[in-house]
């Protein structure tokens, strides 16, 4: 086994331990938050809204909440780790070892995927008790969950590199990640929106992640899952290229 592969595995293991040691905060808390969303929105709108024929609103809501949890926690894992390392000064111990830029990115993204999927699985295990769910196309569920988590993990790396303090990272999350997630069809179908806002929603890549993920459960979606997959894959490629470029340049990492 080469030194490089050992370094990658070590960094990945370190990132895994970082969030697992505070699992109450990083896993249990997001699951509780998603359950509260389900109880509140499901109770208020169940029986009043039917997005897809034969699908209750609570059932429609569960995949959206699962995917929202996956995305937000994947982003939080990579971004918080990098900004914490920059502020405490231990980032040097990641930059000095013989790790390639790709290995650094992959280690952070892989750990983010694990956390995002773990939280998503927990949310699904809890919320599935409240609705009857089908699995029309399980492969789409897996593909969009993994790809969505990888995208937000990569975006977390970019945000962590860009931010110099926690306030900037919080602004990135509050003014970009949160609005893009909530306006991506978690709680509604975009077909319920006016024509202008439907058009705007198609410029939100988060919409395609959630819509494709939901298609795996019901076999119904606002657009074709193949279209969603193509757009999401292209978005991932762009973000990965940006992240690699920042790591190669040492942008805000080498002082």
In angstroms, what is the C-alpha Rg of the chain? Answer: 19
Give me the domain span that covers residue 128: 3-249
Reported as a single tens digit per residue, the pLDDT across 80-112 is: 999 999 998 888 888 888 889 999 999 999 999
Predicted pLDDT of residue 129: 87
Confidence of residue 146 (pLDDT cuts 50, 70, 90): very high
Q: Supply the mean pLDDT for the chain.
A: 91
pLDDT, average across residues 214-227: 93
Q: Is the pLDDT of residue 75 over 80?
A: yes
Name the most confidently modeled range: 134-138, 169-173, 242-246: 242-246
Count other C-beta atoms under 10 Å from residue 158's C-beta: 23
Confidence of residue 48 (pLDDT cuts 50, 70, 90): low
The reply to whether 115 falls in a domain is yes
Reported as a single tens digit per residue, the pLDDT across 205-220 is: 999 999 999 999 999 8
The reply to whether 202 falls in a domain is yes
Q: Is the pLDDT of residue 1 over 50?
A: no
Predicted pLDDT of residue 193: 85
Q: Is the pLDDT of residue 143 over 90?
A: yes
- Give the count of domains, the chain: 1
Q: What angle do CA 166, 12, 177 make, to 5 degrees?
A: 40
Q: Is the pLDDT of residue 5 over 90?
A: no
Backbone angles phi, psi at 14, to 5 degrees: -65, -40
The reply to whether 106 falls in a domain is yes
Reported as a single tens digit per residue, the pLDDT across 162-209 is: 999 999 999 999 999 999 998 898 988 888 888 888 898 999 999 999
Q: How far apart, in whole angstroms, are the C-alpha atoms of residue 51 and residue 43? A: 16
Q: Is the pLDDT of residue 3 over 80?
A: no
Predicted pLDDT of residue 47: 62
Confidence of residue 245 (pLDDT cuts 50, 70, 90): very high
Q: Is the pLDDT of residue 30 over 80?
A: yes
Task: Give this prediction's pTM.
Answer: 0.92
Non-local (6+) Cβ contacts of 109 within 8 A are 78, 150, 153, 154, 157
The reply to whether 254 falls in a domain is no
Percent of the chain with pLDDT over 70: 96
Q: Is the pLDDT of residue 120 over 80?
A: yes
Predicted pLDDT of residue 72: 95
Q: How far apart, in whole angstroms, are the C-alpha atoms of residue 232 and residue 238? A: 10
Count other C-beta atoms under 10 Å from residue 237's C-beta: 12
The reply to whether 77 falls in a domain is yes
pLDDT, average across residues 20-40: 92
The reply to whether 255 falls in a domain is no
């Amino acid at each position: 086994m080469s030194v490089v592969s050992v370094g990658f595995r070590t960094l990945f293991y370190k990132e895994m331990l970082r969030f697992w040691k505070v699992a109450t905060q990083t896993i249990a808390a997001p699951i509780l938050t998603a359950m509260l969303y389900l109880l509140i929105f499901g109770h208020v709108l169940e029986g009043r809204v039917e997005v897809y024929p034969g699908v209750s609103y609570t059932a429609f809501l569960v995949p959206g909440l699962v995917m929202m949890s996956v995305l937000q926690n994947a982003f939080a894992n990579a971004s918080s780790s990098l900004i914490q390392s920059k502020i405490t000064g231990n980032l040097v111990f990641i930059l000095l070892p013989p790790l390639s830029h790709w290995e650094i990115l992959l280690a952070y993204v892989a750990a983010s995927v694990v956390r995002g999927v773990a939280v998503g699985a927990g949310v699904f295990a809890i919320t599935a008790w409240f609705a009857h769910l089908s699995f029309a196309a399980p492969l789409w569920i897996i593909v969009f969950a993994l790809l969505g988590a990888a995208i937000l993990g990569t975006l977390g790396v970019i945000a962590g590199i860009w931010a110099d303090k926690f306030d900037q990272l919080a602004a990135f999350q509050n003014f970009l990640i949160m609005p893009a997630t909530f306006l991506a069809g978690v709680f509604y179908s975009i077909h319920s929106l006016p024509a202008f806002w439907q058009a705007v929603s198609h410029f939100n890549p988060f919409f395609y992640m959630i819509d494709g993920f939901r298609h795996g459960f019901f076999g119904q979606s606002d657009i074709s899952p193949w279209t969603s997959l193509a757009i999401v894959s292209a978005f991932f490629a762009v973000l990965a290229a940006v992240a690699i470029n920042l790591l190669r340049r040492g942008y805000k990492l080498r002082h």
